[in-house]
Amino acid sequence: MSQRNHGIFPLVAGLVLCALLVPAHAEPTLESLNGNGPYDVASYTDFPEVEAFSEGAIYYPENAEAPMGGVAISPGFTESQAHMRWWGPRLASHGYAVLTLSTNQPRDNPELRAEALMAAVGILRDEHARAGSPLEGRIDVDRMAVMGHSMGGGGALIAANDHGEALSAAIPFTPWQRSPDFSNISIPTLIIAGEADRIASSAEHAWPHYEMIPETTPKAYLEFADGNHFIGNSPQRTRSNLDVHDVMGRYAIAWLKLHMDGDEAYRPLIYGEVPEADQAKLSRLVTNSTE
Is there binding between residue 196 and ligand 9J3 (CB under 6 A)?
no
At 246, which amino acid appears?
A: D
Distance CA 164, CA 18 (A): 36
Q: Cβ closer to ligand 9J3: 244 or 258? A: 244
224 contacts 191 by C-beta, under 8 angstroms:
no
Among 77, 86, 182, 221, binds ligand 9J3 (CB under 6 A): 77
Least distance in angstroms from the C-beta of 51 to ligand 9J3 = 21
133 carries an active-site annotation: no
The minimum distance between CB 76 and ligand 9J3, in angstroms, equals 3
Q: For ligand 9J3, give the closer residue by CB, 36 or 201.
A: 201
Q: Is 6 a catalytic residue?
A: no
Exactly one of 128, 149, 229, 259 is catalytic; name it. Answer: 229
Residue 25's identity, in one-letter code, is: H
Identity of the residue, 59 or 77, whose beta carbon is nearer to ligand 9J3 in the bound complex: 77
Q: Is 186 a catalytic residue?
A: no
Of the candidates 197, 205, 240, 259, the residue annotated as catalytic is 197
- 93 vs 174, beta carbon nearer ligand 9J3: 174
The active-site residue, picked from 133, 150, 202, 234, is: 150
* Cα–Cα dist 84/79, whole Å: 9
Distances (CA, A) of 55 to 47, 82, 105, 235: 10, 11, 11, 20
CB contact at 8 A, 228 and 141: no
What are the b/e assignments for 48-70, b being 16+ CB within 10 Å?
eebebbbebbbbbbeebeebbbb
d(Cα 262, Cα 30) in Å, to the nearest integer?
Answer: 19
Residues 138-167 close enough to bind ligand 9J3 by CB under 6 A? 150-151
Residues interacting with ligand 9J3, by CB under 6 A? 76-77, 150-151, 176, 199-200
The catalytic residue positions are 150, 197, 229
